[in-house]
Amino acid sequence: MGIIGPASILHVEGNFSIGDSYVNSHARILCGDEITIGDDVAIAWNVEILDDDRHEISIGGTTSEQTAPITIEDDVWIGHDVSIHKGVTIHEGSVVASDSVVTSDVPSNTLAAGTPAEVIRENVSWGGSE
């Protein structure tokens, strides 16, 4: 059973599921489409998980998708003040460094950091994934 910490906002219009995981305080989760959080996921405080832009945007006459699912697989650790955007999968055993903005998939057992987040280390494991 998942735990979502105090002072967090969980706004669900789509399909939201969380395994045996923990989301710390002051998280902001907007689920307009689908957000799946696996087991043994540790999400620090002040994290945003947004699968919906809440508006459309056109570039060169092509309208972007407004929503896309987010998947956070098992044994992932997400640092504080991270923002996770639509259409992203964070694969098993990965770590996302604090203050990162995740706009593309994070491969298994890697450390991703930055704005936008990029893989900076491979073959990573942490306490939840060992």
Give the residue numbers annotated as catalytic, written as ranges.
55
pLDDT digits (tens, 9 = 90+) for 65-108: 889 999 999 999 999 999 999 999 999 999 999 999 999 999 99
- Kindly list the strands in the beta sheet with 89-90, ordered across the sheet, starting from the edge strand earlier in the chain: 15-18, 34-37, 70-72, 89-90
CATH architecture observed for domain 3-54+71-122:
3 Solenoid (2.160)
The full set of domain ranges for the chain reads: 3-54+71-122
The 3-state secondary structure of 64-103 reads CCCECCEEECCCCEECCCCEEECCCEECCCCEECCCCEEC
Are 46 and 79 in contact by the 8 Å Cβ rule? The answer is no
Tell me which amino acid residue 105 is: D
* pLDDT tens digits for range 38-63: 999 999 999 999 999 988 888 898 98
Structure confidence at residue 25 as a pLDDT band (50, 70, 90)? very high
